Structure 1
């Protein structure tokens, strides 16, 4: 055994401190691996990180937790209690959906409350709603608890489940499935829009995603005080408590390969870190196209990744407002504003790849639940609008961002009138930001679109068939995007990677200096 191989024994390297990478590092550390996580950003969390400006904490990405048990299980695997480290609050209501015709739909905890809301809007749709929930539960049991919690890198595993997919009509879109159960347009939207939050077209992605309605009704929607950043920071503390390292502002340049096996990474600085196990939390397109650029690939070639269907991009306007905490009492923690031509807008967004005058917005106002997100008496918001990814060449965002922001402001004025005169701090993220900040191919907001032929076995696998010792986690791999999904990728890696045969010797820690005499 050469010196480098000996030095790598018992060591694991994780590229990217997103939630999937941090969760993978925690599980590896719990098994006895000596783990180092590297990330180019200045905060852990990846898309779930935050920026603070003038006292406003802008949570940059995910804002809710829908299956707390996945986090409890992760912490338990490390011998810890999640709720001792993170203050997770159940929300009521979960969110309110507002339509252009004045209709509103408020999602609340528990099936009885949801059924009451359906009855208020469309009494004749209650039986169909009940049936939809029953079918959502079956899809949860199969799609989330079964397929979503085990590896899917073997073709035989896919072949075995094809009859179940057919029985559940996985070929039908989630919107088409909802339309077969309820008639009111607002209910059809409320039961099918969720794939947008993981980068999917509700009119095209599989009806398996109806399982989200079961997640909401059974587990609720939760918010971590301090934002998802608080979860990422707590994950970092667990890793460091295991003896691992999280090195921020440290960028990986290349995955090193020797005789078909990943042997660690080279940083942009030139430093090499040897490892027996290499895990990439970078987007699979970036992992195979850039980090492994010097090595030929058999399956995940540059051409294949370029021709894949990528999720839409995102335009996100983060802003803080002065003295507004008691204003706009009708604007809750989560509000969805639906444009007048939703179906046409989604078609233009995903298929034509063009920007039109119509839009829908997700508006996040965390200060309703968490006052620490803003200075006393102030508010923090973000408004998110789906837009085409950069591969469509729909806009030059360096010049178009201000124009698009004005359009968003016009729509927001119906929810929080006069807000622009009270803005004190603001940031705008466009698909170009996602490309430069997160190294996301085409600036896609959620990696590969979760269509049926880009899911499970068809999605980049958690264990690389290209190079031994290389594993992938995060939104672009199985089971997919969303907080439960990326945390789930670490659970799958836990099944693929055993404990080290030889434990690495932890890096030497210099002795603490004696305290100066008072």
Structure 2
């Protein structure tokens, strides 16, 4: 067992729902929950099915010895996508979720002792740049303008509409060319600033969505504008609390969650999705099916018996997949108030940047050095740890399982954890003596728990020829009535991306038969019920 907490009862409907207005969502990840909410607002009676014992997918949690570990995403960068989602359902996001702004956002540390503290204030950020490299201020100002321009085009335009028609891509190619989308995030940062530390600080963000900063399209520098414009937030109770709030909205719309249940296959008849077959053999009919399972798993497993035109097994396997993750979740006893220089979010850099990324993404080599993202939510949220204690996780990007020289994580997990602890001892002396809870996730857990191909933590890597039209579409070309959402689909990984994928899906999916939307958003909930 991965947890010592009792399994919560499955939120299962009294009987298998059938009917012309019944929709099934496979997977209760954040994209699946958001899609279920969008469908509920369009009059569908939705059943969400998930193999885990709680909603949230990668955003779920596990408890051990009084510590609650948020397993995946830790920050919310574009809260308006959630507010708009709630509004579409006639609800108020801020009444359901306690979102706290972070200031500072995070601190970046280098082996030479230098640091960079990211904040929302442009003047505070310019002061940080000037402290490290005053000559790079003009370039930083240009970088911010570049970031804002790509935000309006890449997120607000392309990221919130469907890209399933080739013509949609052709129309925007001139803009891609003008914005030099062919350049990498790192190359764009390097063209603006000279200090290598600043180049890292302005280019590392793709790692949070599974991309290699040295190869992912420079469109992703838009993240710098997201942080500046909207801030970085933490949800009290973790992202799992947002998932729980989403589940309650779905249930309030008349939908249901069927947990601890695995879908074995999507049932397709004469080219039309007709429902799902569960691992038990039970068939659940539906007039509309949404898969929030990884797009690779959807096509190679859930549609394994369907002849596919585009997303064949070979085509899926040939994609470049995101890196894997090694995550050490641990609790410490009696350390509240200790290590006062370690905040909520800290990035601890290895001596190498490009070399380490090459090892992870290109060579598939488990390097001896490592860069760590250290999460300490107990600084902000006392509910994650017993009184006087702390809860952490340390995350290290590692190769996925696709490489021929793949890592044997059954053998390497504990030695690697010890290496992580050794690195942390440099910043938090005595940490090894305080450990009161410990749990490790490797790419094996991502493969088995989340059904992620090759243990990739963020599905398909967001390179330019794996983005927009090239990415799995939100409406499937393999079966009518089948839609996809989540990290492996357009627009991509990360909380804003997966919630936006549900927004795109909501524009593509029809209203439920007989449903008539009312004029005001608050009435949509009543109409759906």
| TM exceeding 0.5 | yes
User: Residue 326 of structure 1: which of 326, 330, 337 is its match?
Assistant: 337
Q: Which residue of 2 aligns with 1:509?
A: none
Q: Which residue of 1 aligns with 2:513?
A: 501
Against the structure 1 CA distance between its residues 7 and 231, is the aligned structure 2 distance closer, same or farther, given a 3 Å change threshold?
Answer: closer
Q: Which residue of 2 aligns with 1:224?
A: 235
Where does 1:153-192 land on structure 2 (aligned, <5 Å)?
A: 153-192=164-203
User: Residue 479 of structure 1: which of 470, 488, 491 is its match?
Assistant: 491
Structure 1 residue 117 displacement after superposition:
1.1
Structure 1 residue 394 displacement after superposition:
2.7
Structure 1 residue 502 displacement after superposition:
3.7
Q: Which residue of 1 aligns with 2:481?
A: 469
Task: Count how many residue pairs are aligned between Structure 1 and Structure 2.
Answer: 499
Q: Which residue of 2 aligns with 1:136?
A: 147
Distance 2:289 2:24 in 1: 5
Q: Which residue of 1 aligns with 2:407?
A: 395
Where does 1:108-119 land on structure 2 (aligned, <5 Å)?
A: 108-119=119-130
Q: Which residue of 2 aligns with 1:414?
A: 426
- 2:330 corresponds to 1:344: no
Structure 1 residue 25 displacement after superposition:
0.1
TM-score normalised to structure 1 length: 0.95
Distance 1:341 1:131 in 2: 26
Q: Which residue of 1 aligns with 2:161?
A: 150
User: Residue 326 of structure 2: which of 315, 319, 335 is its match?
Assistant: 315
Structure 1 residue 21 displacement after superposition:
0.1
- 2:26 corresponds to 1:15: yes
Checking the alignment, whether the CA contact within 8 Å between 1:110 and 1:220 is kept in structure 2 is: no
Distance 2:247 2:38 in 1: 12
Distance 1:25 1:415 in 2: 43
User: Residue 62 of structure 2: which of 48, 51, 62 is its match?
Assistant: 51
Distance 1:324 1:282 in 2: 39
- 2:321 corresponds to 1:275: no
- 2:457 corresponds to 1:445: yes
SS in 2 for 1:269: coil
Checking the alignment, whether the CA contact within 8 Å between 1:321 and 1:379 is kept in structure 2 is: yes
> Deviation string for 1:81-116 (max 9, x for gaps)?
000000000001100000011110000122111111
Distance 1:288 1:59 in 2: 29
- 2:134 corresponds to 1:96: no
Q: Which residue of 2 aligns with 1:514?
A: none
Distance 2:491 2:79 in 1: 17
Q: Which residue of 2 aligns with 1:358?
A: 369
Q: Which residue of 1 aligns with 2:9?
A: none
Distance 2:368 2:440 in 1: 19
Distance 1:366 1:133 in 2: 29
> Deviation string for 1:154-199 (max 9, x for gaps)?
0000000000000000000010000010111111001000000000
Structure 1 residue 407 displacement after superposition:
1.0
Structure 1 residue 354 displacement after superposition:
0.6
Distance 2:428 2:510 in 1: 52
Provide the aligned C-alpha RMSD in A.
Answer: 1.1
Distance 1:251 1:502 in 2: 31
Distance 1:118 1:151 in 2: 38
SS in 2 for 1:391: coil
SS in 2 for 1:390: coil
SS in 1 for 2:512: coil
TM-score normalised to structure 2 length: 0.93
SS in 2 for 1:180: helix
Structure 1 residue 8 displacement after superposition:
3.5
Distance 1:22 1:170 in 2: 31
SS in 1 for 2:342: coil
- 2:450 corresponds to 1:424: no
Distance 2:78 2:426 in 1: 32
Distance 1:424 1:101 in 2: 31
Distance 2:251 2:21 in 1: 17
- 2:446 corresponds to 1:456: no
User: Residue 447 of structure 2: which of 410, 423, 435 is its match?
Assistant: 435
Distance 2:476 2:180 in 1: 30
Structure 1 residue 7 displacement after superposition:
4.1
Checking the alignment, whether the CA contact within 8 Å between 1:8 and 1:263 is kept in structure 2 is: no
- 2:41 corresponds to 1:30: yes
Distance 2:451 2:77 in 1: 26
Structure 1 residue 326 displacement after superposition:
1.1
Structure 1 residue 464 displacement after superposition:
0.3
SS in 2 for 1:383: strand
- 2:394 corresponds to 1:377: no
Checking the alignment, whether the CA contact within 8 Å between 1:110 and 1:218 is kept in structure 2 is: no
Q: Which residue of 2 aligns with 1:203?
A: 214
Q: Which sits farther off after the overlay, 415-424 or 184-193? A: 415-424
- Runs (4+) of structure 1 moved beyond 3 Å? none
Checking the alignment, whether the CA contact within 8 Å between 1:342 and 1:359 is kept in structure 2 is: no
Checking the alignment, whether the CA contact within 8 Å between 1:30 and 1:78 is kept in structure 2 is: yes
- 2:75 corresponds to 1:64: yes
Q: Which residue of 1 aligns with 2:527?
A: none
> Deviation string for 1:429-478 (max 9, x for gaps)?
00001000000000000000000000000000000001000000000000
Checking the alignment, whether the CA contact within 8 Å between 1:15 and 1:37 is kept in structure 2 is: yes
User: Residue 310 of structure 2: which of 291, 294, 299 is its match?
Assistant: 299
Distance 2:254 2:197 in 1: 51
> Deviation string for 1:103-141 (max 9, x for gaps)?
100001221111111111111111110100001000000
